[in-house]
Amino acid sequence: MAANLAAGCIFCKIIRGEIPSAKILETATTFAFLDIEPLSEGHALVIPKFHAEKMHQLPDEFLADAMPVAKRVAAALGAENYNVLQNNGKLAHQAVPHVHFHVIPKPSTDKGLI
């Protein structure tokens, strides 16, 4: 499964190390790092090393690898309560056009939905 990255994409640049990030872990097909504007402490993003804007455009192998990595990220964060979210398209609140999975820890004091 060869990585397929795009020149102008901010998340592809993070994968290539051209933009700094707080890396949590990396596998052959995925990269996980802390969100720059965290909704809670430890808010992380898991991204495939394949530039696709939306989930249905992502090859199955990359999609399949993302969930075990999200699991490892939640464990690394020590999160017992957390949301895993994934947005596709502007109307669905996707801001960065490279598939990503949010892992958002929920502190015990949090009363909100997200």
Which residues of this protein are in contact with Zn ion, per CB under 5 A?
6, 9, 11-12, 51, 98
Cβ proximity of 48 and 63 under 8 Å:
yes
Chain CA centroid to CA 96, Å: 11
Span interacting with ligand 5GP, options 31-39, 65-73, 75-83, 104-112, rule CB under 6 A: 31-39
Burial class of residue 95 in the structure, from the number of CB atoms within 10 Å of its CB (0-12 exposed, 13-18 middle, 19+ buried): exposed
Q: Any contact of residue 83 with ligand 5GP (CB under 6 A)?
A: no
- If contact means CB under 5 to 8 A according to the sort of partner, which of Zn ion, ligand 5GP, none does residue 36 touch? ligand 5GP
Among positions 15, 31, 32, 33, the unique one binding ligand 5GP when judged by CB under 6 A: 33
Q: Any contact of residue 82 with ligand 5GP (CB under 6 A)?
A: no
Q: How far is CA 89 from CA 42, 60, 108, in A?
A: 24, 19, 31
Residues 25 and 23: their CA atoms lie apart, in Å, by: 6
Catalytic, 43? Answer no
**Site for ligand 5GP, rule CB under 6 A:** 10, 19, 21, 33-37, 45, 87, 93-96
Which residues are known to be catalytic? 100
